[in-house]
Structure 1
Amino acid sequence: MKIGFDNEKYLKMQSEHIRERIGQFDNKLYLEFGGKLFDDFHASRVLPGFQPDSKLRMLCELSDQAEIVIVISAEDIEKNKIRGDLGITYDSDVLRLMHIYQELGLYVGSVVITKYNAQESAELFKNRLEKLGIKVYRHYLIPGYPTNVPFIVSDDGYGKNDYIETSRPLVVVTAPGPGSGKMAVCLSQLYHEHKHGIKAGYAKFETFPIWNIPLKHPVNLAYEAATADLNDINMIDPFHLEAYGETTINYNRDVEIFPVLNAMFQRIYGESPYKSPTDMGVNMAGNCICNDDACRNASCQEIIRRYYASRRRLLLGACSEEETYKLEMLMNQADITVHDRPVVDAALTESERTGGPAAALELPDGSIVTGKTSDLLGACSALLLNALKELAGIGHEIKIISPQAIEPIQSLKTKYLGSRNPRLHTDEVLIALSVSAATSEDAKLAMEQLPKLKGCQAHVSVMPGSVDIKQFKLLSIQATFEAKYEKNSVFFNNKGV
């Protein structure tokens, strides 16, 4: 993939811009961090060259000035809300995040429990944190939030929240996921700091949408695709256009809430420091795109991948038809179809030729390899072996896995684990390949090619089992799947057997 984003320039420019924003206030800035602070793989896919941990590295450059406040909603604790990407509860993730930040030398000052109403689970979590020596603060539900500004910005509103004691100029407010109440925590602190004679500032750090590239730029359309389930819509910031005569991009929720935020700022300070939602942002990503075509192409591929993922979830009953329709509309806006993804036609053509499931993968040099279903291997497993042999320069006719490595796995599956399918999944193929590598130079050479699969595009003509989908993710292969089952059995495919 061609590099389209200058990551080092981004780290330098972003940290400098945040320092400048701190200086605009009384050396106190509450910075709301939207999205993922690290492992931002969406950004790395649509901005090739962006490192998934870029925001965290940038924050490390400010470590002497920054402290982190982690926010979690009592309602999320009460209902054991799960992070879909990690499969752990939000309260467990708070502890995980604290550990990661501290390991990197970042100072975690406290945890704030929002929407607190003496819920038993929230109280137990608070006690657990305090026993670990962690400061915990409580913020309460405020009647009429966010529209009843006179009540919210009063001693009976924000005034009832605990005042979070902070010690550094930059306070990064982050959370395990959306809806935790990060913005409310920042605004509550502005109210309390003002009571203490400090004119603190507020800013928002979100990578997408990028404010200084066109509204319908594929990078911004890819953000809409990523949030199709939330129905976020990119739009021109009308407040910025009116104030400065300049077209900038924001999204509907920030534009809708800005009049309320503006009224809060005016009530706290007597005047608002910002004239638009764009003014509140500090994102410099748009200034660091160094190859626009590379970012456009990568973003178009991301939109297509999101479309296929939506089709898969729709088949599983995990999303609505409206979400899929929105992604189809975004593809139309980007002037692309599934056929702009080369591996799609390659996989479907191979499937039609062989009369069974097939898969295709685009190698780093742009060439495409395919895999078909056989008595021994599923399409994904055959694809993986063919790709490794091609990368290693090993002839297609050469067998790189010995029968002695395959037969015990098949026997284990069918005789002892109750599987009716003797074909090897991708994880089993890799185990067999690693066993063969102990005695075969070809197998060893093929194994050494695995890192080269990172970032490769793949497509499968049917929906594979969960084991193969997981293995593609572990290998960082960006795969899509047709939304249809190999066999007419929901049970068969959900079990991935």
Structure 2
Amino acid sequence: MRKIAFDNDAYLKMQSQHIMERIHSFDNKLYLEFGGKLFDDTHASRVLPGFLPDSKLKMLLQLKEHVEIVIAICASDIEKNKLRRDLGITYDDEVLRLIDSFRSVGLYVGSVVLTRYDKQARAEAFRQRLQRVGVPVYLHYAIEGYPNDVKKIISEQGFGINDYIETSKPLVVVTAPGPGSGKMATCLSQLYHEHKRGIKAGYAKFETFPIWNLPLKHPVNLAYEAATADLNDINMIDPFHLEAYGETTVNYNRDVEIFPVLKAMFTSIYGSSPYQSPTDMGVNMAGNCIVDDEAARDASKNEIVRRYYQAKLDLKRGRASEETVEKIQLIMSQADITEEIRPCIAAANKRAEETDGPAVAIDLGDTIVTGRTSELLGASSAALLNALKTLAKIDDSIPLISPSIIEPIQRLKVNALGGRNPRLHTDEVLIALSISATTNPLSHLAMQQLSKLKDCDVHSSVILSEVDSGVFRKLNMHLTCEDQYQSKSSLYHKF
């Protein structure tokens, strides 16, 4: 059971109040660039135990009557079929998923804006698809000289060529399916068009990380660097804030680098800039709601190690560079940590060495259980069953699933479905266990322990199949794997 580090209720109240104050500081119109994930922010929940994955969504729901959503997507990303790696879907499909998700909780989606539009065929088809289902679509174009040629950008030949996005609420949240979608440019274009209409609209930025009022090398902020190592994001002291107020705050390199240009744009639109630093632009209050700094540090250090293993895994699969792995290694040195802070790593690797085969270890807090590969079960399945037995205090020698249930499933996999691996994956084991639970009280007792696996650390001595890693993810367990395939000689791996 992890210690709670974050007061989520205080955060919801404080954050919504702060955003309303920012709206009122302008002409009751604020364009809020929303970075990171609105749904399923599992990174924040891992490094700040107590932060709920849907906290930002709940915060917006408190402001529901004042909020409308604008989703920005880069037209060239549609053309390239760019994927959201975590979900395995294209950016345009993610836009549709976001619209459905927002609408399902009662948030108003006003429109979609296609940024850097240049009549790309796929983008045009997507525009027509949205319009057929009643979603307004606006077009923004690439502006020559953006973002440095401020004089041209703040003119009829710059933002003036973009469509004006019709909005009806005081708070316009501009979000996107992923980074590089043009959220900031969309907001600034709207400021220009609103100013032409006599409205002094405001701009602000919502980014949970880095947390501006934590030290630069605090593990929470270092964990953010590790999470964005592939984007070359670097945390740094905000020099503009330090100069303006004599106060040390933390921001990240891209916002610091672009701020002089943004300030010039604000001055060109408003006559003066409402902000003196990148920190001024932000509205994030998460740092004020940390109630146990030590717990946040411990959780963040664990996350850095997890990101290191993920980067090595991505490198093995050709999805990351050696530079990304080396950068996270440097972050681990800065945080003064090694893999030893995750005891399940050593336990899994030791078990694999003893059995000369794949092994998985699960850290239950007060004990670590392991599982090895057998004729009936894969290592993940064995470890999962052993963990449920331990939590339910069931003797290890008692089988939870009868071989008479397992064997027909194996025959189905191999004989009817053409599978090569007869061993049961974790999803198949859980289905078999649920069937056993209808007649076996001990199996029923084991099933009742599943919720207790939440936030447990897991390590595998080999790269797991998408099925097994997906089950651990759905159980809210924190998985790492060695960057080794079970079959070292094969070039194509599909389990």
Instruction: Return the TM-score normalized by structure 2.
Output: 0.97
- Which residue identity does 1:331 align to in structure 2? M
- Determine if the alignment matches structure 1 residue 495 to structure 2 residue 494: yes
Map of 1:164-203 to 2, 5 A cutoff? Answer: 164-203=165-204
Of stretches 325-334 and 446-455 in structure 1, the one that deviates more from structure 2 is 446-455
Q: Deviations over 1:403-443 (max 9, x none)?
A: 11011122223333344433222222222212222221111
Matched residue type, 1:244: Y
Paired residue secondary structure (2:409): helix
Distance 2:203 2:412 in 1: 60
Q: Higher mean Cα deviation, 224-233 or 479-488?
A: 479-488
Aligned to 1:356: 357
Note if 1:87 corresponds to 2:78. Answer: no
User: How many Å separate the matches in 1 of 2:206 and 2:331?
Assistant: 25
Structure-2 separation of matches of 1:2 and 1:170: 35
Matching residue of 2:436: 436
Q: 1:175 & 1:95 partners in 2: Cα distance?
A: 11
Aligned partners of 2:485 and 2:330: how far apart in 1?
25
Distance apart, 1:130 and its partner CA:
2.1
Residues 1:276 and 2:277 are matched in the alignment: yes
What are the equivalent positions in structure 2 for 1:18-97 lying under 5 Å apart?
18-97=19-98
Counterpart of 1:216? Answer: 217
Aligned partners of 1:472 and 1:100: how far apart in 2? 24
Counting only pairs closer than 5 Å after superposition, residues 410-489 of structure 1 correspond to structure 2 as 410-489=410-489
Q: Take 1:312 and 1:416, find their aligned partners in 2: how far apart are those partners?
A: 33
Shift of the alpha carbon at 1:256? 0.4
Q: Deviations over 1:35-69 (max 9, x none)?
A: 11111110011000001111111011111111111
* TM-align CA RMSD: 1.3
Task: State the secondary structure of the residue aligned to 1:52.
Answer: coil
Query: Matches of 2:398 and 2:146 in 1, distance apart?
Result: 68
> Mean alpha-carbon deviation: is it higher for 131-140 or for 157-166?
131-140
Deviation at 1:86, TM superposition (A): 1.9
1:380 match: 380
Flag structure 2 segments of 5+ consecutive residues without an equivalent: none
How much has 1:377 moved relative to structure 2? 2.0
> Match of 2:98, as an amino acid?
L
Distance 2:473 2:69 in 1: 30
Q: 1:219-258 to 2 correspondence within 5 Å? A: 219-258=220-259
1:262 aligns with 263
Amino acid at match of 1:490: S
1:134-164 per-residue CA deviation (whole Å, 9 max, x = no partner) reads 2221111100111111000001101111111
**Rounded Cα–Cα distance in structure 2 between residues aligned with 1:133 and 1:359:** 49
List per-residue Cα deviations over 1:61-102 (Å, max 9, x = no partner). 111111111111111122222222222222222222122212
Greater shift, 115-124 or 179-188, is seen at 115-124
> 1:383 and 1:29, CA in 2 relative to 1: closer, same or farther beyond 3 A?
same
> May I ask how many residue pairs the two structures share in their alignment?
494
Distance 2:309 2:303 in 1: 10
| Structure 2 residue 127 is the aligned partner of structure 1 residue 100 | no
CA distance in structure 1 between the partners assigned to 2:412 and 2:132 by the alignment? 48
Q: 1:465 to 1:119 in 2, by over 3 A?
A: closer
Q: Which residue of 2 aligns with 1:339?
A: 340
Aligned-partner Cα distance in 1 for 2:316–2:413? 28
Go from structure 1 to structure 2 and tell me whether the alpha carbon gap of 1:450 and 1:336 turns closer, same or farther (over 3 Å shift).
same
Q: Deviations over 1:375-416 (max 9, x none)?
A: 322221110110011111110010111111011122223333
How many Å apart are 1:491 and its aligned residue?
4.4
Q: Secondary structure at the match of 2:231?
A: coil
Of 312-321 and 237-246, the range deviating more from structure 2: 312-321
Amino acid at match of 1:464: L
Residue 139, structure 1, aligned to residue 140, structure 2:
yes
Q: Give TM-score, length-normalised by structure 1.
A: 0.97
Instruction: State which drifts further: 417-426 or 6-15.
Output: 417-426
Deviations 1:205-256 (A, max 9, x none): 0000000000000000000011011010000001001111110000000000
- Residue 415 of structure 1 aligns with an amino acid whose one-letter code is N
Cα distance in 1 for residues equivalent to 2:114 and 2:419: 47
Change (3 A) 1:102 1:340: same
One-letter identity of the residue aligned with 1:150 = K
AA aligned to 1:369 is: V
Greater shift, 73-82 or 219-228, is seen at 73-82
Letter in 2 for 1:132: V
Secondary structure, in 3 states, of the residue corresponding to 1:49?
A: coil
Taking the aligned partners of 1:78 and 1:420, their CA distance within structure 2 comes to: 37
SS of corresponding position for 1:495: coil
| Cα deviation digits, residues 155-195 of structure 1 (max 9, x gap) | 11011111112122111111111111010011011111111
The answer on 1:296 being equivalent to 2:317 is: no
Letter in 1 for 2:378: G
1:91–1:317: structure 2 CA closer, same or farther, 3 Å change rule?
closer
Secondary structure at the aligned position of 1:172 is classed as: strand
Counterpart in 1 of 2:121? 120
CA spacing shift, 1:420–1:112, aligned 2, 3 Å: closer
Q: CA deviation at 1:357?
A: 2.2
Match for 2:433: what amino acid? L
Match of 1:15 in 2: 16
State the SS of the aligned residue for 1:11: helix
Distance apart, 1:125 and its partner CA: 2.0
Q: Distance in 1 between matches of 2:126 and 2:374?
A: 53
SS at match of 1:171: strand
Matches of 1:83 and 1:360, distance apart in 2: 29
Which residue number in structure 1 is paired with residue 317 of structure 2?
A: 316
Counterpart position of 1:207? 208
Q: Deviations over 1:8-61 (max 9, x none)?
A: 000000000001111111111110000111111100110000011111110111
Report what 1:368 is aligned to: 368
